[in-house]
Amino acid sequence: MAPITVVTGRALPLRGNELDTDRIMPARFLKAVTFDGLEKHVFEDDRKDNPSHPFNNAAYQGASLLVVNENFGCGSSREHAPQGLLRWGIKAIVGESFSEIFRGNSSVLGVPCFTAAKADIEKLQAHIEQHPDVVVTADLSTGRITAGDVTVQGALPAGVRDAFLTDKWNPTAMLLADYDDVKATAARLPYVAGF
């Protein structure tokens, strides 16, 4: 695991509020014992329904950043949704707001979810639609997101930001450190001790 300080690459603007995790990864693709191949099914039903869906657009293939609107990733806790996006190539997401579970799942996978003001998201989406080749940079230490001559201020929760900057974004090793403290906490809980 390495620190993540900057995410740079082309970006995919995906308009719409309340894009839930059933839309990102329909349930039938959860019928497997691995996450392999999920990148093929990202937004599958939306893409079939709408040939001009941004994920179908040749100009956005190979994008590393996703720019979304409100409450992205709401609904089911399925990690298959951010796993699919990550495997498709998405390394950071910028949006007006996110569901908590989706944002947490993404963070643990090393995909920071920046929030930014509605007007700024609109600016970014419009700019990327006009210039699909523009290189977008999301800087974790400053929270700034730059697309050509458009720069907006994004935000990450301070703890999450510091975790990315210091390579502590995948917490298992930290959770297992000084494990006697965990045992002591458990032992103090009446129900663990059998009342």
In terms of residues, how long is the chain?
195
Amino acid at 194: G
Assess 186 for contact with other proteins (CB under 8 A). Answer: yes
Amino acid at 106: S
Residues 55-74 binding other proteins (CB under 8 A) are 70-71, 74
Residues 165-184 binding other proteins (CB under 8 A) are 166, 168-172, 174-176, 178-179, 181-182
x/- letters, 129..168, toward other proteins (CB under 8 A): ----------------------------xxxx-xx--x-x
Comparison of 108 and 150: residue with beta carbon closer to other proteins:
108
**Cα distance between residue 161 and residue 168, in whole Å:** 10
**Cα distance between residue 68 and residue 116, in whole Å:** 10
**Cα distance between residue 5 and residue 162, in whole Å:** 10
Comparison of 20 and 122: residue with beta carbon closer to other proteins:
20
Separation of CA 4 from chain center: 14
Assess 122 for contact with other proteins (CB under 8 A). Answer: no
For the record, the structure tokens of 87 come out as 């495997």
**Beta carbons of 122 and 10 less than 8 angstroms apart:** no
Question: Can you give the binding site for other proteins, defined by CB under 8 A?
Answer: 16, 18, 20, 22-23, 26-28, 30-35, 45-46, 48-49, 70-71, 74-80, 82-83, 97-101, 104-105, 108-109, 157-160, 162-163, 166, 168-172, 174-176, 178-179, 181-182, 185-186, 188-192, 194-195
